[in-house]
Chains A and B, each alone.
Chain A
């Protein structure tokens, strides 16, 4: 399968990007372009995400049942596909969120260890 050689890149990106997308949709339904813009703006351009890589991630989230999609009309009158969070997605987001918090805490404490008595 074509996926094999690209696997490492996706594995790293997957969880994080999924989490970001889910988080973005917390604010309400959005189309692909909107999600991309939102990520760019809120991360202050720190995260360079190719807009194209959003789409496989969206498909994956759809398949998991965490988001749902339907066609609608954008503010500038274009036919666009709007994604919204499902209840399962909401649950997933909170699990992932707390996981991420623990993860980043752990990383942070390794990188910036609090001096202990023994040291």
Chain B
């Protein structure tokens, strides 16, 4: 078989050793035989050996030349193939341009998507030996959670300290938490992202400072001491003008002067892949200065999962072993502190995976795989089209190939020639594709949600990306080159083609390769379109989801009075004043203050209904808390179903009250009236009486199951960070600046952040489904167009080939309908087979995507039905046009044609 021989030849380069050994053996035998003969001729042994050597000549030269033959031949062939391929491609400029452009489109799309996946998911942490770093998180099996995807829960600070001391699996364990700080001292107070970290944080990551130093081992031990900070390279470059004398300067963070001691390496922004590049790190000992309210009060509470932790595994230690050992410590801590740690154990996650959020990796990976899959389908279809074009070309070049074969070119040489051509095309496509990707990533990135800054993710076309593109280019070249190449190297097929010659039709028997391409393309297009269809449906559903409050004509701004070290009294006064000032601004209907962002989650606390507590074995339910001013429900237009709203009479010293949403009422008192029921928080004896039930709103993300929420009066559930939420009479944009000015005038040092309309927030929350639907639709349409063109191309070619047959049939009296049925029927049968294949595969793939969909089944009949219809219509058009042309064949011309 020509193919095996070819492989043997390729292999020869790599089997040099074996080859050389054979040759050595052979030469040795040769000389020995000569010696034997010489001895027989009566020579002395010594002389016989000399004579044999003489007649053989230079042994080393013979060996080297023989080996050279193999190697030279390979390079020589390659050079010839390459030159010839370039000539062929230049000769067929039109074909080459179409091929390179369609490949470039495919490679460009694939590279663009891969660049984003690479930056966010695959390669996110510029730290030393990231493979040995793991995130250590709590798993709580007893406390109830209502949120989806919240299995892994962070770590309390005291537990972190115990794990650090007791574990035998980490070289060291570090802890961190993200906190925004107010940076004052400039023209206007602003917020800067910061991490509060253990002193060993940078050591565990294996980083070295660009300038200055990192924290000393004991710099996190004494509370409220060591006002030192490390800043990120980007912060140094952007905000300090890359000042070479930065180390030693001070920075006012949350009204506390910090000394800058070092600069982190370029590109490092913490262990989160979607974080701003401007960052500050301060030691955990400074928590009283930089935290406030509940967070500060409970920082040392063993139940409060305030922190995240990661460690570097000792060398040669496997993850499961390490996890088992840590679970032992966890159960010891559970036994020691049953009240706080009851039902809690730990789990390890690779830190690189946790970089997109410890519970999010699966979703990210799935979404990435889906996007790469979709663009992969487009590429495969483009590839199939090219294979078809090459097949047509191969038929045209049959003479050339025959001549070459007659001139002694081995079948494998022809195969290699064709593969060289296709690979060359593919590589040219890859180069253009990279240019597309260079623009494409910019375009794609410009559609990112607005809370991610332009430079938060470095979308570099780095070595990973280049390797990826090169890899798919080579693979693609081999794939679409192989089809015509195999055909050219399989003489029986060529013979069939020749024998069938003019009467050749598209059908399994006469032309399996082309038929396969049509089936394949239709099938792939089907999968791409099903994906698009499901996501369009899902997005429509997501868009229709009622957030439970009126999101238009509403805007917000965030404040952090804790950063200004306000006392609770000052803060409460500020909140009331801010709401009043905002409400009296022109164009404002009402204003309120709440601790949580709309659709932004919130602090979760464990709630026990009256009669239950942590000693009874019931572990409560972690529930979102929202502390609000009495005007909250009015301003957001959240209907109060039963009971009364909060009033100004709900003060710190009056009866503790709460308002719950229907989801919470249903969760704790499924068959009872929740009104007037009482509950308490973990660690607090006070019972809070429910005075109203309000309807549900979206809490964490659009599409979630209704989440229980407990609303507290701000006076009875103080929060040092809050949002001012304002309902306007007209468009919010006109009013925002005025209200912002009013609030700022109340506290000139306050950093006012996240000023945005709720409409913007909602559209950000819908970003993922919208983006998914948009991209998949784009890819689906591309797939559809390419597949349509492909089917059309195959059938047109086939009609051309069948002119003779059609002519004869017409001459023998075949009606238009008969010809139509003949030509279109062939195509439609293949398309139908493709659809069946596509349906089958879509069924499999769609199931995998189920978790990414909103309120639509992966087997959504509407989607499957409409996609099938669309594809049938497109396939029919692609078959109809060539069939029409077949009708125009003049029998006489067709018969004379050959």
Whether A53 contacts B57 in the complex (CB less than 8 A), given A79-B29, A92-B408, comes out as yes
Contact, CB under 8 Å: A55 / B29: no
Contact, CB under 8 Å: B26 / A32: yes
Say whether B65 faces chain A, with CB atoms less than 8 Å apart: yes
The residue in chain B whose Cβ has the minimal distance to the Cβ of A40 is B55
Residues from chain A with a CB closer than 8 A to the CB of B333 are none
Contact, CB under 8 Å: B410 / A55: no
CA distance A54 to B72 in the complex (A): 17
The listed residue (B22, B32, B56, B63) touching A78 by CB distance below 8 A is B32
Pick from A19-27, A58-66, A100-108 the stretch touching chain B. Answer: A58-66
The residue in chain A whose Cβ has the minimal distance to the Cβ of B68 is A3
The listed residue (A2, A3, A50, A55) touching B26 by CB distance below 8 A is A55
Contact, CB under 8 Å: A63 / B69: yes
Contact, CB under 8 Å: A63 / B61: no
Residues from chain A with a CB closer than 8 A to the CB of B33 are 31, 33, 74, 76, 78, 80
Whether A51 contacts B70 in the complex (CB less than 8 A), given A56-B62, A63-B9, A92-B408, comes out as no
| Contact flags B34-78 to A (C-beta < 8 A → 1, else 0) | 101100000000000000000111110111111011111101000
Q: A58 to chain B: closest CB distance in Å? A: 8
Residues from chain B with a CB closer than 8 A to the CB of A80 are 26, 29, 33
CA distance A54 to B31 in the complex (A): 13
CA distance A76 to B75 in the complex (A): 40
Say whether B653 faces chain A, with CB atoms less than 8 Å apart: no
Residues from chain B with a CB closer than 8 A to the CB of A56 are 62, 65-66, 68-69
Contact, CB under 8 Å: B25 / A52: no
Say whether B762 faces chain A, with CB atoms less than 8 Å apart: no
Whether A33 contacts B30 in the complex (CB less than 8 A), given A2-B64, A52-B57, A55-B62, comes out as yes
The listed residue (A6, A33, A55, A74) touching B34 by CB distance below 8 A is A33
CA distance A107 to B115 in the complex (A): 68
| Contact flags A89-109 to B (C-beta < 8 A → 1, else 0) | 000100000000000000000
Contact, CB under 8 Å: A50 / B72: no
Say whether B23 faces chain A, with CB atoms less than 8 Å apart: yes
Report the interface size for chain B: residues with CB under 8 A from the other chain: 34
Say whether B27 faces chain A, with CB atoms less than 8 Å apart: yes
Q: B353 to chain A: closest CB distance in Å? A: 50
Say whether A1 faces chain B, with CB atoms less than 8 Å apart: yes
Q: B589 to chain A: closest CB distance in Å? A: 86
CA distance A51 to B410 in the complex (A): 29
The residue in chain A whose Cβ has the minimal distance to the Cβ of B19 is A59
The residue in chain B whose Cβ has the minimal distance to the Cβ of A63 is B73
Main secondary structure of the interface of B (DSSP, over half): helix
| Contact flags B85-121 to A (C-beta < 8 A → 1, else 0) | 0000000000000000000000000000000000000
| Contact flags A39-59 to B (C-beta < 8 A → 1, else 0) | 000000000001111111011
Residues from chain B with a CB closer than 8 A to the CB of A32 are 26-27, 29-30
Contact, CB under 8 Å: A1 / B29: no
CA distance A79 to B64 in the complex (A): 22
Q: Which of B27, B33, B36 has most A Cβ within 10 Å?
A: B33
Whether A52 contacts B61 in the complex (CB less than 8 A), given A31-B29, A63-B9, A92-B408, comes out as yes
Contact, CB under 8 Å: B27 / A50: no
Residues from chain B with a CB closer than 8 A to the CB of A3 are 65, 68, 72
Residues from chain A with a CB closer than 8 A to the CB of B22 are 81
Q: Which of A56, A78, A79 has most B Cβ within 10 Å?
A: A56
Selected A-B contacts with CB under 8 Å, 22 pairs: A2-B68, A3-B65, A6-B65, A31-B30, A32-B27, A33-B29, A37-B37, A50-B55, A51-B55, A52-B59, A53-B65, A55-B63, A56-B66, A59-B66, A59-B70, A63-B9, A64-B408, A65-B5, A80-B26, A80-B29, A80-B33, A81-B29
Further pairs besides A31-B26, A56-B66: 20, Cβ < 8 Å: A1-B71, A1-B72, A2-B68, A3-B72, A31-B33, A33-B33, A36-B55, A37-B37, A52-B58, A52-B61, A52-B62, A53-B62, A55-B27, A55-B62, A56-B69, A63-B73, A65-B410, A76-B36, A80-B29, A81-B22
Q: Which residues of A contact B (CB under 8 A)?
A: 1-3, 6, 31-33, 36-37, 50-56, 58-60, 63-65, 74, 76, 78-81, 88, 92
Q: Which residues of B contact A (CB under 8 A)?
A: 5, 9, 22-23, 25-27, 29-30, 32-34, 36-37, 55-59, 61-66, 68-73, 75, 408, 410
- For the complex of A and B, list the 6 residue pairs with the smallest distance between their C-beta atoms, beginning with the closest: A50-B57, A52-B62, A52-B57, A56-B65, A33-B33, A59-B69
